[in-house]
A and B are shown apart, each in its own frame.
Chain A
Amino acid sequence: MAVTIVKQPLSVVPAHNDIEWQATSTQYTQPDFAFYVTVTVVSYSITLNFKIAPVNNDRLYFNLIEITRKYVSNYYPFQVYGWQTATDAIQEFTVNIGEYYSGTVHAGSDETILAYNASLTKEERRLYQPSLYEVTGTKNNDWLNNLYNGSATNGRTSCKINQDFVFYFLETGARSVELVTITTYDSSNTLLGTSVISNSFDPPSSTATKHLCINLGPSGLDNIDSGAVTGTYPIITSSVASYMIAFRIDNGTGYNYFYRYVDIDRCAPKFEKVTVHYLNRKGAYDFYNFYGNHQKSLNINKSVFSGITERFEGSYDLVGTGTIYPNSPIAPNKKTLEISYETIRVLRSQYLSDFEIEALQDLITSPDIIIQTDEKLYLRVTSQDLNYRFKNIGEKQQILEITLNEGFTERRQRG
């Protein structure tokens, strides 16, 4: 074969990092020689062709990143419950590195890769291998979420009733998360029930089913369909004060279990709790609850235009009767023809640990922010509408303060 692949990306790669091939050809002395790379976006049935001149006589450098990042999308399971495929969060691409010379394309062999919605740091990329991010059952951090790692005995998370808590999994091999068991407790920590939610996409049968998520927050468990649950149903009742989440992972020779605990926050805090869901580097949505002293303000835009006024401004004599009439003050000289406003929020966190500050860097750089207020109300803001700052409160105590422009123009009545 005339084309030799010198370096190639791993078969499962972050879509937003460089995905580069290096190849050489023995045909580079042919007339009009160029490498001819054909990329197919499998699920979109789109084929793109690139004719690339060799460098250093015979060498090709081809980077797929510009294409992968167009077709890999962020996915959040808005008001859908149970196991979900994270639509377009993972895509299959085929790359064919061939040659072009003497007016003819000579195709090479198809290379298939899966690109998923991640953008890893330089340090993470240096040691990257898919198994570090797949749910394989051989490590503790077996999902794509960053925050709220825990064990069988610690790592409790507080969620308001009807709040989302979404877990994301990358499944590219045979081993996968088989089911999740929810064990509920009352305020005395007495067991109330056990419910099992089986993964309906196990084993993963297509590219789309290799990136899964499930909302296991109080809202997700409260709204899940009974058909998806075996055991206790409904899962969340008024008596439930906390619950344990246990994932069962097939590790090839047996099972591993991973646990998380959720305390349901049913009391009204002093300040409104605002949940901010954000996309982390690995493609999952993490969240952080802001309990601080929030502020809300309005940006108002107003346009003023000429009103139709009385032509004769002043008292007047009606048809020469001698009776003097005062001018009507009602007609305005100017009218407000357009008034609109945007809501600005300033959210403040509670005191942050060093771990949280580190983890919240992904919030600050996130391209997608979803605010969940009033339990079920979602507002989606984009990063350019955000301002962040870590504010020192006393010695060595820090909070995160973020300013969010909701980016939605409200309109008022005209004048």
Chain B
Amino acid sequence: MANVRLYIDDIEIPLLSDVSLPVTYSIEDIRTPDKTSSSYAENIELASTKELESVFEFAFDTNVDLTSFNPNIKTPVRIVAGSTQVFRGSLKLNKSIRNRNTGSVKYICDFIGEKADLFNTIGEKYLIGNDDPADDLDFSTYDHTLNVTNVQASWSTSTTAGAGYVYGLIDYCFENSGINGGNDTIFYVQHLRAQLFVREILEAIFTASGKTWTSTFLDSNFFKGLVISANQPITIPDATFNNRKLLMSIPNGTGSGSANAMTWSGTDWGSAFVYDQQLQYDTKSPAPFNDAGNMYDLFSDIITIPADDEYEIIVKNPFAELTITNVGASNGPAYNSNCTYDYEFTLHIQKWTGAAWVNLTASQTYSGTVTAGVGTIYTDESFGASYTGLFVAGDQIQITVDTKVDNLTLKNGGGAIISDGTTSYNYTFFRQTSGGFNILPILSVIPTDNYINEGETVEVNQCLPQNFKQKDFLKSIIQAFNLYIYEDKDVEGNYFIEPRNTFYSGTVRDWTNRVDADGDEESLIMGELDAKRYTFKFAEDTDYFNKIYADNWDRVYGYKQYVVDNQFLVNENVTELSFAPTPMVNNFVNGLIIPAIYKSEGGVITPQNSKTRLMYWGGLKNMSFGLWNLKDSSGDNFSSQYPYVGSIDDPYSPTFDLNFGVPKEIYITGITSYAWPTSNLFTEYWEDLLTLISSPNSKIVRMKVYFDEIDIKTFDFREPVIIDGTKYVVNIIEDYDSTERRSTLVEFFKI
């Protein structure tokens, strides 16, 4: 037994003399990083000692009430052979076994390597929108005002920056922005969305997990140029939006109104009108009533618009009572059920022009005729008004009612007309939820949407994909570029990450004299081949161009299938990213080639939320012809250059495509000799591997090899191995046990 020490939570734990600590190191873990496995040791038996119980706190005892130890939480573990650390990871306590006769206790544990720890630490957290906001990635340092200046400034961001934000041009078909089928050239600044760099997001995920990487690829200019799209419109902050929302009522049984005198005309009491009687609301709480932004002035009963936007104003159920009275008639009193008159309520939503209040919309009228009826009438629930339109900050709004009584005839109990005394009508606006009424007056002033407007602050965190788990983001990047992840034995929490093509770049080691001469050599013919078809694709999306591609070709845009000429295998191995593909579209009038993400139903083009797109940031590109116009409230900003993002590295002379396969059709038309690149994710990152494993000469070889702790310490999966003149890479080192002097089974893949 080598001099092996086990440390749990940095406490040295005495080992049973016959304990074995077989650790398996596997390239499988490197290739399938989302699996929770990693280098690992399973079913390790540890004796209950005072040292171990200082960690486990007698967890075997069914009655114990644990104070510090929590089996749900990772406990750090290290195996040191001699002075060499051969394993570092976390301990998972599986069970305890207690001999009831002798009282001896053993704990059975698994040791899990650090790479699994990466995905365990990331867990199920989303990029943004977690239940605990502390789990969200934070790019708020990039928050900025949405205006042409800042948008244009972002275009100077280097294509190899790898950090920050850029406003690459994407057609979301938002209102009047976009190329809208190929002819429009105007993009309003408020309809642009910033893109964030993939590398910086990845770095934020690692940092939040306390991890780092060492990677030529992730630090390459190529990778630093990758960005992702925001998958939904940018909105104003919730608090800001709330300050722009007004919802008010009035207390039950209270209200406002006035009395209006009427004059006997000789045949009846004539007509009386009251114009622009202000409705007076005063209930701002409790929820749902709200005036967080103090839009409504309780003294003047005037609403002040807080910010430029389109608002919808709704006045609903301004419950009104109109009562006619006569006092002092010589043949009175007037009999209340013998009144004949016409009535009319007219509701106005008015805006102050600076000189006068003007009605914003056609007035809403509630009217009728009472014949030999009562002198009191009420409006009903149908009475109300609404208006939707653009306002600017500072605009003032009020709600008023005109009331009118006409052709009034009053009679006494005997049916005689009353023609003298004082006659008037009272109008009252109030809330009534008793006496058979349940009418709630509502005044609502709300922006028609919460989308950001020019001049407002962009919360850059909104540019992160919504409902996108961090582990899915990492996994998709790994799968797109066939990345291998390998834990750094020397620096805790650090990982080597490279594409498979460049992963095996270390010094070639000659292990010829390390092979156990007494062991068998087993060759698995084409052992790595596990499928007939290898399919690579992006996630499906429902935008117009992705949809027509899927309809036309019955597959996702950018799809690739590699079929092995093998007559025995039938199954399919599918690699699918969480990103959606990005068809590129050109504009017929100015040469723009940009992504277009919108839907089209019945010929009507409208915006839609989309899945996240993986794209290049290409910087400013000279347009092949024509101009485009970045429009804001100040006017036009024509340019012959445009900020390019897309799936291809160059819109006019592409050499590489961020798809797996060459599309069957593209949506860049009318350009002479336009050639779609044949180099893509599959050809650059996957094809070599598949060619290798599907070759008739492909072999997995298993043989026993001698290792000691120094060999394990210095072993690196990146280093190819030569044995008897054959070059291999190592797949698995199975059950290397530092407590025993014996050879270890190693699985090699011939390259």
Q: Which residues of A contact B (CB under 8 A)?
A: 36-37, 44, 46-53, 65-67, 69-71, 301, 303-308, 333-335, 337-338, 340, 382, 384, 407, 409
Q: Mark B62-80, 1 if CB is under 8 A from A, else 0.
A: 0111110000000000000
List 9 additional contacts besides A46-B54, A66-B48, A306-B515; criterion CB under 8 Å.
Answer: A50-B61, A52-B63, A66-B105, A69-B103, A306-B513, A306-B517, A308-B512, A334-B517, A407-B17
Q: Which of B1, B64, B515, B741 has the most CB of A within 10 A?
A: B741
Enumerate chain A residues within 8 angstroms of B105, measured Cβ to Cβ: 66
Provide the residues of chain A in CB contact with B395, threshold 8 Å: none
- A71 & B743 in contact (Cβ 8 Å cutoff): no
Given A49-B65, A71-B50, A340:B513 Cβ within 8 A = no
CB pair B49–A303 under 8 Å, yes or no, is: no
Contacts of A44 in B (CB 8 A): 50, 54
Asked whether, in the complex, the Cβ of B1 is within 8 Å of the Cβ of A409, the reply is: yes
Q: Which residues of B contact A303 (CB under 8 A)?
A: 516, 706, 741-743
- Is B488 among interface residues, defined by CB-CB distance under 8 A? no
CB distance from B110 to the nearest CB of A (A): 24
| Interface assignment of B514: CB less than 8 Å from any CB of chain A | yes
Contacting pair A66 B103 (CB below 8 A) = yes
CB nearest neighbor in B for A411: B741
Question: Do the beta carbons of B517 and A70 come within 8 Å of each other?
Answer: no
**A304 lies within 8 A of B65 (CB):** no
Q: Can you list 14 pairs linking A and B with CB atoms under 8 Å apart?
A: A47-B67, A48-B57, A49-B64, A49-B65, A51-B63, A53-B63, A65-B103, A66-B103, A303-B742, A303-B743, A304-B516, A305-B513, A305-B706, A306-B512
A337 lies within 8 A of B706 (CB)? yes
**What separation, in Å, do the CA atoms of A382 and B47 have in the docked complex?**
16
Cβ-defined contact, B49 with A70, below 8 A: yes
Contacting residue for B58 out of A67, A306, A308, CB 8 A: A67
| Closest Cβ–Cβ distance, residue A258 to chain B (whole Å) | 35
Residues of B within 8 A of A340 (CB): 741
Chain A, Cβ-Cβ closest to B742: A303
Within the assembled complex, what's the spacing in Å between the Cα atoms of A305 and B741?
13
**With known contacts A303-B742, A338-B741, A409-B1, A50–B63 Cβ distance under 8 A:** yes
Whether A36 pairs with B65 at a CB distance below 8 angstroms is yes
Q: What is the number of residues of chain B that contact chain A, defined by CB distance less than 8 Å?
A: 28
Q: Which residues of B in the span 3-53 have a Cβ within 8 Å of any Cβ on A? A: 17, 48-50, 53
Closest to A35 in B: B63
Q: How long is the Cα–Cα vector from A288 to B48 in the complex, in angstroms?
A: 31
Closest chain-B Cβ to A49's Cβ sits at a distance in Å of 4
Seen from chain B, the residues whose Cβ lies within 8 Å of a Cβ on chain A are 1, 17, 48-50, 53-54, 57-58, 61, 63-67, 103, 105, 512-518, 706, 741-743
In whole angstroms, how far apart are the Cα atoms of A50 and B63 in the complex?
5
**B65 contacts A50, CB within 8 Å?**
yes
Across the A-B interface, the 7 shortest Cβ-Cβ residue pairs: A49-B65, A70-B50, A52-B63, A50-B63, A306-B517, A51-B65, A306-B515
Q: Considering the chains assembled together, what is the distance between the CA atoms of A382 and B48 in angstroms?
A: 17
Question: Which residue of A has the minimal Cβ distance to B740?
Answer: A301
Q: Is the CB of A304 within 8 A of B53?
A: no
Instruction: Looking at the assembled complex, report how far the CB atom of B614 sits from the nearest CB atom of chain A, in whole angstroms.
Output: 48
* A49 engages B513 (CB within 8 Å): no
Q: Are A304 and B17 in contact (CB under 8 A)?
A: no
Assess the A49–B67 pair: CB atoms within 8 A: yes
Bound together, the chains give a CA A333 to CA B66 distance in angstroms of 59
Does B513 contact A307, Cβ atoms closer than 8 Å?
yes
On whether the beta carbons of A305 and B514 are closer than 8 Å, the reply is yes
B8 → A minimal CB distance (Å):
15
Contacts of A335 in B (CB 8 A): 513
Chain B residues with CB under 8 A of A36: 65
Nearest chain B CB to A175 CB, angstrom units: 32
What is the bound-complex CA distance between A384 and B61, given in angstroms?
27
Closest to B723 in A: A306
> How far is A36 from B48 in the complex, measured between Cα atoms in Å?
23
Instruction: Give the chain B neighbours of A337 by CB distance below 8 A.
Output: 706
Q: How far is the CB of A340 from chain B (nearest CB, A)?
A: 6
B53 and A70 within 8 A (CB): yes
Closest to B18 in A: A384
Contact between B65 and A301 (Cβ–Cβ < 8 Å)?
no
Query: Hey, which chain A residues are within 8 Å of B49, CB to CB?
Result: 70
Residue of chain A at shortest CB distance from B515: A306
User: Which residue of the partner chain, among A53, A71, A384, contacts B17 with CB atoms under 8 Å?
Assistant: A384
B516 touches A305 (CB 8 A): yes
B582 to chain A, nearest CB (A): 54
Contact A48 B58 (CB under 8 A): yes
Q: Report the minimum CB–CB distance from B48 to chain A (whole Å).
A: 7
Q: Which residue of A is nearest B50, CB measured? A: A70
CB neighbours (8 Å) of B17 from chain A are 382, 384, 407
A304 to B706 Cα, complex, angstroms: 9
CB contacts (< 8 Å) of B57 on chain A: these are 48
CB of B687 to closest CB in A, whole Å: 36
Assembled-state Cα–Cα distance A304/B741 (Å): 11
**B2 — nearest CB in chain A belongs to which residue?**
A409
Knowing A48-B57, A337-B706 are in contact, say whether A305-B743 is a contact too (CB < 8 A): yes
Residues of A within 8 A of B63 (CB): 37, 50-53
Q: Closest approach, in angstroms, between the C-beta of A361 and any C-beta of chain B?
A: 18
Partner of A66, one of B1, B61, B706: B61
Q: Knowing A66-B103, A66-B105, A338-B706 touch, does A304 contact B517 (C-beta < 8 A)? A: yes
Return B413 CB to nearest CB of chain A, in Å. Answer: 74
The docked-state distance in angstroms from the alpha carbon of A53 to that of B66 is 16
Complex Cα gap A301–B740 (Å): 11
B59, chain A: closest CB distance, angstroms: 10
Question: Which residues of the other chain, B, contact A65 by a CB distance below 8 angstroms?
Answer: 103
Distance to closest chain A CB from B235 (angstroms): 44
A16–chain B nearest beta-carbon distance, Å: 9
In the complex, what distance in Å separates the CA atom of A269 from the CA atom of B518?
A: 48
Q: Which residues of A contact B65 (CB under 8 A)?
A: 36, 49-51
Cβ contacts under 8 Å, A49 to chain B: 64-67
- Chain A residues with Cβ below 8 Å from B53 are 70
CB–CB A70/B741 < 8 A: no
The CA-CA distance from A37 to B63 in the complex, in Å, is 9
Residues of A within 8 A of B64 (CB): 48-51
A414–B65 Cα distance when bound, in Å, is: 53
Bound-state Cα–Cα, A237 to B64, Å: 58
A141 to B53, CA, bound (A): 36
Complex Cα distance A384/B516, Å?
A: 31
Q: Are B518 and A304 touching (Cβ within 8 A)?
A: yes
Q: Name A49's closest neighbour in chain B (CB-CB).
A: B65
A171 to chain B, nearest CB (A): 24
Complex alpha-carbon distance, A47 and B54, angstroms: 10
State A69–B492 Cα separation when bound (angstroms): 37
Known: A307-B513, A335-B513, A340-B741. Contact between A66 and B58, CB under 8 A? yes
CB of B726, distance to nearest CB on chain A (Å): 14
> Shortest Cβ distance from B723 into chain A, in angstroms?
9
CA distance A50 to B64 in the complex (A): 4
Q: A44, A70, A334, A409 — which one has the most chain B CB atoms within 10 A of its CB?
A: A70
* C-alpha spacing A51/B67, complex, angstroms: 12
A335 to B517, CA, bound (A): 9
Compute how far the CA of A48 lies from the CA of B742 in the bound complex, rounded to whole angstroms: 42
When distances are taken between beta carbons in the complex, the residues of chain B under 8 Å from A66 are: 48, 58, 61, 103, 105
Nearest chain A CB to B514's CB is how many angstroms away?
Answer: 6
Closest CB in chain B relative to A74 CB, distance in Å: 13
Determine the chain B residues whose CB is within 8 A of the CB of A338 once the complex forms.
706, 741
* Distance to closest chain B CB from A38 (angstroms): 9
A152 to B102, CA, bound (A): 42
Cβ-closest chain A residue relative to B16: A384
Q: Closest CB of chain B to A115's CB: distance in Å?
A: 13
The residue in chain B whose Cβ has the minimal distance to the Cβ of A335 is: B513
What distance in Å separates the Cβ of B746 from its nearest Cβ neighbour in chain A? 13
Shortest distance in angstroms between A338's beta carbon and chain B's nearest beta carbon?
5
**Cβ of B514: which chain A residues have Cβ within 8 Å of it?**
305-306
When distances are taken between beta carbons in the complex, the residues of chain A under 8 Å from B743 are 303, 305
Q: Which residues of A contact B50 (CB under 8 A)?
A: 44, 70-71
Minimum Cβ distance to chain A for residue B154 (Å): 57
